[in-house]
Structure 1
Amino acid sequence: MLDKRGFDLWAEGYDKSVGLSDDDNTYPFAGYKKILNEINNRVLTSSANKVLDIGFGTATLTTRLYEQGCKIYGQDFSEEMIKIAQEKMPEATLYSGDFTNGLVKPLKEQKYDAIIATYSLHHLDDEQKVIFIKSLLNLLNTEGIIYIGDLAFQTRDDLESCRLDAGKYWDDEEFYFVYENLKGLLPNLKFEKYSFCSGILTIKN
């Protein structure tokens, strides 16, 4: 798992390397563009205005929402990625901070129409995911939705199959979503598969 400095160093080449994995349909980013496109479309068709992006990286997704008039808030721990994102979205409200320690106070004082997290929450183990996601539900406006696009599997068997296929490339320091393990712990959780190693999870209040 990359630390803060690792993500800072990866910032300039992040979009390219992710795109190559997606284009080749390989772990870990197979389905990446489909997931971002789908979340983008759902947020826009829901008429959401105020959007929180957790672990926004280089703002590949939120830049599109920003350009369509959404008011963007976000938190990321990579200063270099924040710089790139802020250049793309000059009026976005972006904060530096490691979300594994929680959101910064100003973000917790707001309410949002949509909260998105793409390829970021796999840095939390299952117990931490449940606690963190439940805390996000309190930040949603009425009819608000949490959209999580990430490495995710319907069952533990699906995850283990992917682990076997990935071999030496598998990252044992990341904690991927397994729907069957979380569905009883998070209210109204839904899962949609987008590739052999990814999907979208949605949660409503």
Structure 2
Amino acid sequence: MQEWNPTQYAQTARFVSDLGEAVLALLAPQPGERILDLGCGDGVLTLKLQTAGCRVVGIDASPEMVMATQSRGLTAHVMDGMALPFDREFDAVFSNAALHWMPQPEAVISGVWRALKPGGRFVGELGGQGNIATILTALETTFAARGLNVPYPCFFPDPTTYRQLLEAGGFSVPTIELIPRPTPLPGDLRDWLMLFAQSSLAWVLPEERADFITEVVARLRPQLYQPDGVWVVDYVRLRFLAQKPPNAP
């Protein structure tokens, strides 16, 4: 199982929330709106929504991340994003870099639909088709060399597939686009792998894990390591705005 340590996340992956500003701009939050932050992480963007005058509820599957969000003085709950219990409570549902960790997108979309008031909007960004493809190939090759077939536990859809899922869930989709976004890491690729490939690495014996990561890094160095000493990961994001009709029941 993937686990999240707020301190490790802040050191290794603060760029995730820093690069979420474009999704916030698409959301265009208005003072007084009640907004659900779906997959709130450690609450950095949740706090920005509250600062904008919104009434925000954050939810996340990680108890540690929820505690970090609560420590900012925010309302947050441990909750499965694929089993949302809300009923027409929110003006908007916002999600940044979380939906691809939820392997049942139909259940997520259905829950968001129920959570929204008629006329509400669902705005999000997730990993899209081609996201971290170079890293996934290196992981697959290194696992195969050990006789293992270990899938990466994320859902990276193309725009057509995700539009169809949203429309099947009752939404109209004014905006959906795939955005290549090569992303410099603040540190070493090893740190990124130990955080974001944690559940895959669990298939490797603990005493062999360091050597496994060394092999993966060696495979990726020619493609992702830059002359200035910075690792740049081949992120691709899928950003969308979906609307629940004003006359929806």
Looking at structure 1, the residues matched to 63 and 127 of structure 2 have their Cα atoms a distance apart, in angstroms, of 24
User: In the alignment, which residue of structure 2 is the partner of 1:140?
Assistant: 116
What corresponds to 2:9 in structure 1?
A: 14
Cα distance, 1:110 vs structure 2: 5.0
Q: Structure 1 stretches of 5 or more lacking a match?
A: 23-28
Residue 199 in 1 paired to residue 228 in 2? no
2:26 counterpart SS class: helix
CA displacement at 1:87 relative to structure 2: 1.4
Q: CA separation of 1:87/1:110 partners in 2, compared to 1, >3 Å: closer, same or farther?
A: farther
* Greater Cα radius of gyration, structure 1 or 2: 2
| Number of equivalent positions | 175
Closer, same or farther in 2 for the Cα pair 1:109/1:152, shift >3 Å? same
What is the CA distance between 1:15 and its match in structure 2? 2.6
State whether residues 54 and 75 of structure 1, in contact with CA within 8 Å, keep that contact through their aligned partners in structure 2.
yes
Distance, in Å, in 2 between the alignment partners of 1:17 and 1:51 is 27
Counterpart for residue 25 of structure 1: none
Q: CA deviation at 1:201?
A: 1.8
Q: Deviations over 1:49-88 (max 9, x none)?
A: 1110111110121111112221111221222211111111
Q: Displacement of 1:134 after TM fit?
A: 2.7
1:182 has 2:162 as partner: yes
Task: Report if the CA contact (8 A) 1:137-1:204 is conserved.
Answer: no
| TM-score normalised according to structure 2 size | 0.61
Distance 1:81 1:165 in 2: 25
**Root-mean-square deviation (Å):** 2.5
TM-score (norm 1): 0.73
Question: What secondary structure does 1:17 align onto?
Answer: helix
Matched residues in 2 for 1:79 and 1:135: separation?
A: 21
Structure 2 counterpart of 1:114, one-letter code: A
- The answer on 1:172 being equivalent to 2:152 is yes
The gaps in structure 2 that reach 5 residues or longer are: 141-150, 182-235, 245-249
